[in-house]
Structure 1
Amino acid sequence: MSAEDATLTQLEALRSYLAHLARFGMRLGLERMEAILASLGHPERRYGVVHVAGTNGKGATAAMTASIARAAGLRTGLYVSPHLVRFNERIVMDGRPISDAALVEAYEAARRAVEAVGADEPPTQFEFATAMALWAFARAGVELAVLEVGLGGRLDATNVVRAPEVCVITALGLDHTQVLGPTLAAIAAEKAGILKPGADAVVASPPPEAAPVVAARARETAAPLWEVAPVRAPPALSGAGTYRWEGRVVGLSGGRLDVVTPQGVRLEGLTVGLAGSFQLPNAAVAVACVDRLRARGWRIDATAIETGLRQVRWPGRFHVVGTRPTVVVDGAHNPAAARALARGFVEVLGGPPRLLVIGLLAEKDVRGVLEALVTPGCTVVATRARSSRTEPMPPDRLAQLAMELGAGRAECVEPPGRALARALELAGPDDLVAVCGSLYLAGEILAETGGVT
């Protein structure tokens, strides 16, 4: 058997094993991960780590931070989830998804570790993927790894990292309430569970209900606390140094950002290579994060910040995949993200979409998302992703709710590729078509349109 054939065989074994683990669902907790990483020789201790939690914006913030580190010449790893098209996208090194051959190596190492541990219950799919990523980063000689939390923070598999350089909490909101709790305070407690003694804590200004919880956790861990706040907003976190930011929306090519550090250093006219005003606070948090890394001795200069923000790419978020009509794909899946996306349509493209292709998971706040995106008289094409990790909302119920909220027309079309084709049939050349509601839906559409390779 050739090396190429052997890799393909092992990739199929990996897919089969991950599908097997998915049957066991989600189980929060760190014991299984700690045992697996011990068996692997604790790869997570061989490089610096930035740990990123939050309800919205954590993936984009992680991608921006990694892009800046890469522009500074650091060997950089990025771990995110879920993937859009290929599993390789979850483990990124120096801006490129892990190769198939390296992915197979990581799978084999993690599988051996699981067998050596011999636990009574197998790891979850996310735990296994996290172990693969942490091992792959060490194998590749990564200097700095940026890890996005999968769910929550305190009991998330990524929280096995005991000595991160910087812990980041992006915008907080209500999501996954059935797991994390029904209030912002409860959710903040889970997210703030990533804060560690000695690691700088960089936090986007939290809502009033969440702020005392985050501040208390920072005091408990003696973590230096840094708030990232809009220039005209009063500080929300007691005892924190404050980074101030102000943004200007430019267009589909991105926006512009000014940041002032707590020491009064001004970083002006930073170009953010992602569209939408909702990306500007994420960029400000990333700038604050790398500024804390600089203070800790990491070699990241102002030029790297400028270059990394300008060159960042984050597929599936305000992602334009077609013109005449304009087609935008975005994974917005909770009300806060949907409201931010709706503002982005107005700011960047001059108005809301006339046609919506939408699919949502049943566990989400479906009404809240639709209320943000459905406008009077719009056309909704309801669908469902085939790759969803949990049960999708039936398209007929989505269509019915969209009509109740003021849509002029609603249809049910499956699968997602056909749903987009139907929307394009109904659209004129000057219309805006939006595909949104789920990263799983975004991924399937991007796979069909060639938006991600």
Structure 2
Amino acid sequence: MNAPLFLESLSNLPNADYMLSLRERNPSYFLKRAQWLLQEKSEISKFLRKTKIIHITGTSGKGTVGALLQSILAHAGYTVGFYNSPHVGDVYERIRVSKPDIHKNAVSTEIIPPHAFESLAQGLKPELVKSITESPYGLPSYFDILFVLGLLYFKKIRAHWTIIEVGCGGRYDSTNIIKTSDLSLITTIGDDHAHLIGPRLTDIAYEKAGIIKPRGVVVVGPYIKGKALSLIKQEADKKKAVLYQTPMPKKGRPDENFAIASFTAKLLKINNAIIEQGIRQYTPLPGRFEIIAENPTIILDGAHNKDKMRYLIDALEPFFKRTDRKFLIFAATGTKDWRAMLSLLFPCFDKIYLTRHTVRERKVADMKAMYLYIKKCKKLSPLLYLDPEDALKDAMRNARQKDLIVATGSLYLLGSLKKFHEKTPYC
């Protein structure tokens, strides 16, 4: 069995689920579970003492900010590892490396090669078996294992910098097993995952502030304010950390991620020319406003909460102006506020396809409820497709060259659509 399938198959073993149980039990249990695996791989602890670490959380933008900083640091001459989640297509996407190419005077960004992933996963099997009988916290989760695999790979390639994106929250997230970081970064505070780490914004801010390290440095985004900002400041004061807030971007929210990355890089003493080059030449993560075709234009975006949807609509504005008909393909997981997202989206589109993602471990939103909601609010009957590929196929058949097709609502939706389009670019 290949490594990705083996790791996915571990979900059929009895185990506590962090995402489902965060509110019902002492969540430090999940941090200790990941910590146990880290202690078993003692070479990782040695690596973490050598590499410089940027730890990023936030409701929106953390993946993009991480990718921007990865590019900037690589253009400054460093080898940079970036662990991010979730993946859109293949699990290898979670483990990225950027490094300078001296011969080409450029930077290369690559995901972990499958053979390297396979080798590291095989090497981790004895510890996974041992955890069943010897760990008081049980088998590490899929996320725990992938994070440790990422650290093992970054050790192997001798990363100067390691950028780590939080999975959910921060305080009890598996990534918070790292004891120190050169910089903690909180991009935004919104109500995504409120059912797990909320319900109030201050609750969410408290969880995200948990990544601040004693006597460390923390950077917050420009739009964090009020009680959420006060709470983060309290956490920083308690840990004797230095806090900086990113200045307001000149062009407003569309430039927020670039502003955070640029401000952070300046704190790291990187000069403006390198920062500008890194931003200009960065490699976006898959599914972040990814244009996969033109004539008609097809855009995949993993926005999955109302804040991210506002950013998406802002980014789509130039496309709305220069295209004719607008087609929306939408799916959401069951825990998301799909009403808030659809209320922002459906005024912008002429035709709507409702579908679902096909990831077995994640429940999807009620398609009938979404259908009735759109029909009531927009006076339009959306088209329903159980197979997301069929939805894209129908949209492509109906769209003309100057039309626009946008698929959004869930990162889990985009992987199958991207692979389908690569196999069948013309319908």
Range class of TM-score, shorter chain: 0.7 to 0.9
1:418 aligned to 2:422? Answer: no
Tell me what 1:84 maps to. 88
| Per-residue Cα deviation, 1:67-97 (whole angstroms, up to 9, x for no partner) | 1111112111000001111110001122211
Moved more, 13-22 or 132-141: 13-22
1:50 aligned to 2:64? Answer: no
Taking only aligned residues, the RMSD between alpha carbons, in angstroms, comes to 2.2
| Per-residue Cα deviation, 1:293-338 (whole angstroms, up to 9, x for no partner) | 22xxxxx433321221111122211111122221111111001111
Matched-pair contact (CA < 8 Å) for 1:173–1:184: yes
CA distance in 2, matches of 1:301, 1:75: 18
Post-superposition offset of 1:172: 1.3
1:75 aligned to 2:79? Answer: yes
Matched-pair contact (CA < 8 Å) for 2:329–2:405: yes
CA distance in 2, matches of 1:12, 1:212: 42
The 1:174–1:168 alpha-carbon spacing in structure 2 relative to 1, beyond 3 Å, is same
Q: Which has the higher helix share?
A: 2
| Per-residue Cα deviation, 1:392-423 (whole angstroms, up to 9, x for no partner) | 01333322222222153301013111111112
The 1:376–1:323 alpha-carbon spacing in structure 2 relative to 1, beyond 3 Å, is closer
Matched-pair contact (CA < 8 Å) for 2:407–2:414: yes
Return the letter of the residue paired with 2:116. Answer: A
CA distance in 2, matches of 1:60, 1:372: 22
Q: Which has the higher contact order (CA 8 A, sep 6+)?
A: 2
**383, 386, 399: which one aligns with 2:355:** 383
Moved more, 59-68 or 12-21: 12-21
1:184 aligned to 2:201? Answer: yes
The 1:209–1:423 alpha-carbon spacing in structure 2 relative to 1, beyond 3 Å, is farther
The 1:361–1:13 alpha-carbon spacing in structure 2 relative to 1, beyond 3 Å, is closer
Return the letter of the residue paired with 2:302. Answer: G
Post-superposition offset of 1:15: 4.1
Matched position secondary structure for 1:370: helix
CA distance in 1, matches of 2:327, 2:8: 37
Matched-pair contact (CA < 8 Å) for 2:320–2:326: no
CA distance in 2, matches of 1:36, 1:152: 21
Matched position secondary structure for 1:392: coil
1:204 aligned to 2:212? Answer: no
1:438 aligned to 2:410? Answer: yes
In the TM superposition, 1:206-355 aligns within 5 A as 206-230=224-248, 245-247=249-251, 278=254, 280-294=255-269, 300-314=270-284, 315-350=286-321, 354-355=326-327
Matched-pair contact (CA < 8 Å) for 2:80–2:162: yes
Runs of 4+ in 1 over 6 A off after TM superposition: none
Matched-pair contact (CA < 8 Å) for 1:342–1:373: yes
Matched position secondary structure for 1:447: helix
CA distance in 1, matches of 2:219, 2:12: 37
1:144 aligned to 2:152? Answer: no
Identity %: 27
Tell me what 1:3 maps to. none
Matched-pair contact (CA < 8 Å) for 1:345–1:351: no
The 1:83–1:338 alpha-carbon spacing in structure 2 relative to 1, beyond 3 Å, is same
Moved more, 346-355 or 101-110: 346-355
CA distance in 2, matches of 1:20, 1:388: 12
Return the letter of the residue paired with 1:14. Answer: F
Matched position secondary structure for 2:209: helix
Post-superposition offset of 1:427: 2.5
**122, 125, 128: which one aligns with 1:108:** 122
CA distance in 2, matches of 1:36, 1:291: 35
| Per-residue Cα deviation, 1:50-75 (whole angstroms, up to 9, x for no partner) | 00000000110011111111111211
Gaps in structure 2 of 5+ consecutive residues: 22-26, 99-108
Matched-pair contact (CA < 8 Å) for 2:75–2:274: yes
CA distance in 1, matches of 2:349, 2:272: 47
**Between Structure 1 and Structure 2, how many residues are aligned?**
395
Post-superposition offset of 1:349: 4.1
Tell me what 1:169 maps to. 186
| Per-residue Cα deviation, 1:216-236 (whole angstroms, up to 9, x for no partner) | 111111111110131xxxxxx
Return the letter of the residue paired with 1:119. Answer: S
1:155 aligned to 2:172? Answer: yes
1:96 aligned to 2:114? Answer: no
Matched position secondary structure for 1:356: strand
Tell me what 2:106 maps to. none
Tell me what 2:3 maps to. 11
CA distance in 1, matches of 2:302, 2:206: 25
Return the letter of the residue paired with 1:226. Answer: Y
Matched-pair contact (CA < 8 Å) for 1:359–1:393: yes
Post-superposition offset of 1:46: 3.3
Post-superposition offset of 1:378: 2.3
Post-superposition offset of 1:161: 1.1
**165, 188, 212: which one aligns with 1:195:** 212
Matched-pair contact (CA < 8 Å) for 2:328–2:349: no
Matched-pair contact (CA < 8 Å) for 1:184–1:210: yes
CA distance in 2, matches of 1:407, 1:79: 44
TM-score by length of 1: 0.82
Matched position secondary structure for 1:202: strand
Post-superposition offset of 1:113: 2.9
Matched-pair contact (CA < 8 Å) for 1:382–1:396: no
Post-superposition offset of 1:25: 3.1
Matched-pair contact (CA < 8 Å) for 2:357–2:413: yes
